[in-house]
């Protein structure tokens, strides 16, 4: 196991229970605003642009109603996971055409080795793979339930 996640990487300050926006670009701004407000990011214009560039290469939603955007950037202070839900759904350009209701954004600092970043990304993907798990996250009353479900895979 390569990637390690500090307990503070999953924090209620990095949780958006219901996104205000429905357009993908606006949602990215909402996610980054949340990371900035929590102190996880120190140069947000660079991060916003990087996320947009990554997305331009292909949607970060594998379908099934969730998205897994990710970035390694100098703008990020330490590895953090931003979790957001959208009751109305966001068109993330997934191949299956489904709207995205659950977004898990992985942010790693640039000095984080690529292998560790990818390892964490893979384990977040595993945590979201099963419909039953995703449903629990979508129905969770608070962030702790979501965090514990993610920690099970990341531990």
Partner 1 sequence: MTPVQSVLHLHDLDLLLHELQDAEALACFKRLGLPIGPLAPLEAARREAAERVDPRWRHHYDRAQRRYGGAVAAVRGRTCQGCHMTLPRSAAPAAGEMLALCESCGRILYWGVRSNA
Strands (E) located in 32-99? 66-67, 70-73, 80-90
Q: Supply the minimum distance, in Å, between the C-beta of residue 87 and partner 1.
A: 24
Q: Residue 31 contacts by C-beta under 8 Å, 6 or more apart in sequence? A: 16, 69, 82, 84, 103, 105
Return the SS3 of 122: helix
Stretch that binds partner 1, among 13-21, 38-46, 83-91, 139-147 (CB under 8 A): 38-46
| CA distances in angstroms from 106 to 68, 88, 96, listed in the order given | 7, 22, 22
Total chain residues near partner 1 (CB under 8 A): 33
Residues 101-130 that bind partner 1 (CB under 8 A): 109-111, 114-115, 118, 121-122, 125
Q: Supply the minimum distance, in Å, between the C-beta of residue 109 and partner 1.
A: 7
Query: Which chain residues interact with partner 1 by CB under 8 A?
Result: 42-43, 45-47, 49-50, 53-54, 56-60, 62-63, 68, 71-75, 77, 95, 109-111, 114-115, 118, 121-122, 125
């Amino acid at each position: 196991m390569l990637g390690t996640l500090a307990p503070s990487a999953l924090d209620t300050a990095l949780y958006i229970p219901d996104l205000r926006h429905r357009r993908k670009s606006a949602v990215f701004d909402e996610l980054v605003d949340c990371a900035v407000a929590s102190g996880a990011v120190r140069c947000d214009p660079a991060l916003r642009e990087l996320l947009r560039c990554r997305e331009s290469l292909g949607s970060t939603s594998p379908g099934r109603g969730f998205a897994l955007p990710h970035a390694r950037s100098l703008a990020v202070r330490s590895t953090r996971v931003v979790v957001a839900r959208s009751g109305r759904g966001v068109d993330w350009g997934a191949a299956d055409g489904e709207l995205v209701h659950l977004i898990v954004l992985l942010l790693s600092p640039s000095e984080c080795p690529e292998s560790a970043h990818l390892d964490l990304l893979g384990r977040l993907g595993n945590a979201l793979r099963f419909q039953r798990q995703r449903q629990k996250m979508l129905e969770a009353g608070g962030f702790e339930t979501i965090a514990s479900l993610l920690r099970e895979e990341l531990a």
